[in-house]
Structure 1
């Protein structure tokens, strides 16, 4: 326990030191979140009010550098960054860490974070080769995140707080208010894949709360929020596991009751109509944004066309991103599709606006 606390203290000191050196990027103190289209993988870039950057996951490898280049375009041309401060791997599937090594060959990544590197991974026969590339990119110095870890990142008006809720199949203690939906949980067969080991991260700027859970699956979602809900309700939710039905347990989704959802699906991956129905059933639901139209689902089973970033198949895809931007006081946030999309404003829950 003492060694773990020491490690966390050292990590926090390094974070604070790097935050103090960071320069604001002209965002007027806003927290910006970019949901980058990596065709049904995941890559989310956060730029804090102090200009600190966090890249969570990095899409698929190969495909002639498609996902790598889309990420770098957002990092360099849209967010105007010349480095990435923190790169996080939610779990060890190639659509989530496939480009960490190739990105750091193009732009500096200062610190790598993950759930810990396993010796083997039954999910992926190529894991030894892929993890060797990651180890080389991180110089074998990636830092391990555990359920219950907390960080405070420097802001301008308010600090950005980060809490790790799950990791390596562990969850935070089951405190908080009773979950009124707990009795609805129906367990599924145990998920032995690395999806169930995903990191879940809760970001808070004032009253604003954003939750991303990687590919966390059904039973661990329920374990996190039953019988009590230590997460609370959130404003913005990155729909888990690309909107697949093996995740997004209604007991979990209804407990966190998100106002706005962003789904990082592909044209033929994720976007399950049953998951979308669950999101819409939440009392606080106002909007769902999809990175892709689900080509096999009916129009009424998914978000309206104006809330879908990419409408065609992979061959025609322009890789348009979705951006959320949080006001410096955390009282409101905007969401838009691409650089020229309509900007919609939402009030943070619990505010007087």
Structure 2
């Protein structure tokens, strides 16, 4: 009896010692989620990191009875289950990109505002001074200006996460990296004096996964970024630049980054231009192109198949405002893309 009691006590003590010496279990991290919100030819892209941090790039058009603001809030609250934004960024100063930052700030807390710097005037917008006043008030004049080469201060976990600014105010990151095999195909266009050319561009990496968003960056600055060398490398997911308009999406960049999946944030009549669609069809590795809208002015055979189009209505009055969602696995090794909450996810492997 004494031997059995001694054995039992020894077993308990040994178990306690092993438990005390063992390191605590590391909680599994969640995925990285990206929502491409339908703002009908504007832009609004929401990111939720494994650490629960949120980033909204651009905010769609104002007015329209609060259409875009409400769609952003619906995704933010009902899909991402957020009650604030950690970061809100503006790629450039056109109204379809910063139109709702102020009205969103009246509904939810926005902790940090990021932009390329606020100009005093904007030649293409005679109402800019009035419009920017609302943004200044929402940000309390404390928005932070980003330059090419900067990084956003996002928390990184077991799978490294980073968001780097690769263009800003017509400047680009150093042209390091391997030679771009498409560099000789570049055909320069007249200098774009609009604010589109000054867009912020974001390169997100999550483990091996890479995502590229260039706002409304235009042709010549796209070429400046990737010629003669390609400092970006190839990406997995590409947000088609400038809603799919042909003043952007220079093949010298699109073919160099060689995305596996692309998402086009176009509207029923804006973006999704046949020239851009032709460029995308020439991408060697492209497996899927998702469009937020069917372009009602472009032939069906020139667009992506209907099952990859989130919204097909001809007018806003009949549009459901369905989003496209990308979910990147916690280890960054694969990702899914689906249309809306109930869409069937398609799975893609992250390139090495």
Pair in the same fold by TM > 0.5: yes
Match of 2:334 in 1: 332
Residue 41 (structure 1) aligned with residue 42 (structure 2)? yes
The count of corresponding residues between Structure 1 and Structure 2 is 325
Inter-partner Cα distance in structure 2 for 1:27 and 1:261 = 29
* Cα pair 2:156 2:162 within 8 Å, conserved: no
List per-residue Cα deviations over 1:76-126 (Å, max 9, x = no partner): 111000100000000000000000000000000000000000111001111
Q: CA deviation at 1:27?
A: 10
Match of 2:191 in 1: 190
Q: CA deviation at 1:160?
A: 1.1
In structure 2, stretches of 5+ residues that fail to align are 1-26
Match of 1:171 in 2: 172
Q: CA deviation at 1:73?
A: 0.3
Residue 344 (structure 1) aligned with residue 346 (structure 2)? yes
Match of 1:224 in 2: 225
Match of 1:253 in 2: 254
List per-residue Cα deviations over 1:310-352 (Å, max 9, x = no partner): 00122211100000000010000000000011100000011xx
Match of 1:132 in 2: 133
Inter-partner Cα distance in structure 2 for 1:105 and 1:154 = 26
* Cα pair 2:198 2:217 within 8 Å, conserved: yes
Q: CA deviation at 1:283?
A: 1.1
* Cα pair 2:35 2:45 within 8 Å, conserved: yes
SS at match of 1:192: coil
* Cα pair 1:242 1:270 within 8 Å, conserved: yes
Inter-partner Cα distance in structure 1 for 2:326 and 2:31 = 10
* Cα pair 1:152 1:159 within 8 Å, conserved: no
Match of 2:14 in 1: none
* Cα pair 1:165 1:199 within 8 Å, conserved: yes
Q: 1:132 to 1:151 in 2, by over 3 A?
A: closer
Inter-partner Cα distance in structure 2 for 1:203 and 1:162 = 4
Match of 2:274 in 1: 273
Structure number with greater Rg is: 2
SS at match of 2:111: strand
Match of 1:114 in 2: 115
Q: CA deviation at 1:150?
A: 2.4
Inter-partner Cα distance in structure 2 for 1:176 and 1:276 = 28
* Cα pair 1:58 1:68 within 8 Å, conserved: yes
Q: CA deviation at 1:28?
A: 5.2
Match of 1:51 in 2: 52
* Cα pair 2:29 2:51 within 8 Å, conserved: no
Inter-partner Cα distance in structure 2 for 1:32 and 1:155 = 14
User: Where in structure 1 do 4 or more consecutive aligned residues deviate above 3 Å?
Assistant: none
* Cα pair 1:116 1:143 within 8 Å, conserved: yes
SS at match of 1:346: strand
Match of 1:286 in 2: 287
Q: CA deviation at 1:152?
A: 5.5
SS at match of 1:60: coil
SS at match of 2:140: coil
SS at match of 1:228: coil
Inter-partner Cα distance in structure 2 for 1:322 and 1:71 = 13
Q: CA deviation at 1:155?
A: 3.6
Inter-partner Cα distance in structure 2 for 1:252 and 1:101 = 33
SS at match of 1:204: strand
Q: 1:322 to 1:217 in 2, by over 3 A?
A: same
Inter-partner Cα distance in structure 2 for 1:193 and 1:203 = 26
List per-residue Cα deviations over 1:127-161 (Å, max 9, x = no partner): 00111000000000000110011245224421311
List per-residue Cα deviations over 1:142-183 (Å, max 9, x = no partner): 001100112452244213111100000000111100001101
In structure 1, stretches of 5+ residues that fail to align are 1-25
Q: CA deviation at 1:211?
A: 0.4
Inter-partner Cα distance in structure 2 for 1:125 and 1:235 = 39
Inter-partner Cα distance in structure 2 for 1:223 and 1:156 = 33
Match of 2:84 in 1: 83
